[in-house]
């Protein structure tokens, strides 16, 4: 972790300044209908009952945030793999309109052959680096999911389509709030990544 904070990340910042690249932190999440988040209330002495459809469903998402306050996201079907990750990187690069440096966790598909080959073919336009193992607290993008899941937990969602629509609306509202995204870079473990 010390090497990442003292050497690796400062070198990535220097490369970004030199090449005009945007640094993005990326993370994936699965949001499940049967996840318990939040609390509720009831009359004193009565156990609260929260009604739901009883169905189990989930939505899989990927997002990216930058220290400039940019945020991009996408929903996907099935499990994340190298090909799906590269598809997201291509969209991210196109939206940025300039080179990108992507920092992700150590999932095997983030550093697999498909991703390495795409980065080589991009001729320096896309670079993927990894956070230290077991250090999700260093990823500001984790806060996207904390914030989205907290907001979702206050709503009654009864179908997968409704959950997907609601999550998309929540993520779009996060996307429009540059100050909220910048706050993800002001936590004690993420300040190192804030724009200087």
To the question of pTM greater than 0.85 for the whole model, the response is: yes
pLDDT-based confidence at 171, cuts 50/70/90?
very high
User: 101 forms bridges with which residues in the sheet?
Assistant: 23, 127
Residue 115: pLDDT over 90: yes
Ordered domains of the chain (ranges, CATH):
2-32+57-193 (3.30.420.10)
Higher local confidence (pLDDT), 174 or 196 = 174
| Closest alpha carbon to 30 in 80, 102, 91 | 80
Residue 121: pLDDT over 80: yes
Residue 35: pLDDT over 80: no
First-to-last C-alpha distance (Å) of the chain: 21
User: 24 forms bridges with which residues in the sheet?
Assistant: 102
Q: What is the DSSP string of 103-154?
A: EE---GGGSSHHHHHHHHHTTTSEEEEEPPTT-GGG-TTHHHHHHHHHHHTT
pLDDT mean over 53-81: 87
- pLDDT value, residue 161: 87
pLDDT-based confidence at 38, cuts 50/70/90?
low
- pLDDT value, residue 160: 82
Do residues 67 and 101 make contact, with C-beta atoms less than 8 angstroms apart?
Answer: no
């Amino acid at each position: 972790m010390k090497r990442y904070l003292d050497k690796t990340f400062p070198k990535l910042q220097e490369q970004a300044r030199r090449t005009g690249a945007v640094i993005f932190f990326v993370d994936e999440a699965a949001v499940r209908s049967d996840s318990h988040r939040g609390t509720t209330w009831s009359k004193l002495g009565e156990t609260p009952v929260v009604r739901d459809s009883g169905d189990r469903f989930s939505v899989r998402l990927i997002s990216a945030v930058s220290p400039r306050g940019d945020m991009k996201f996408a929903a996907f079907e099935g499990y994340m793999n190298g090909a799906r990750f590269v598809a997201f990187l291509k969209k991210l690069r196109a939206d940025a309109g300039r080179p990108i440096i992507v920092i992700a966790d150590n999932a095997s598909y983030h550093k697999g052959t498909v991703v390495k080959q795409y980065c080589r073919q991009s001729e320096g336009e896309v670079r993927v680096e990894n956070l230290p193992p077991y250090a999700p607290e260093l990823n500001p993008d984790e806060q996207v999911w904390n914030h989205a899941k907290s907001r979702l937990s206050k709503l009654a969602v009864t179908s997968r389509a409704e959950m997907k629509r609601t999550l998309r609306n929540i993520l779009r509202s996060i996307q429009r709030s540059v100050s909220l995204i910048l706050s993800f870079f002001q936590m004690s473990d993420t300040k190192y990544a804030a724009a200087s």
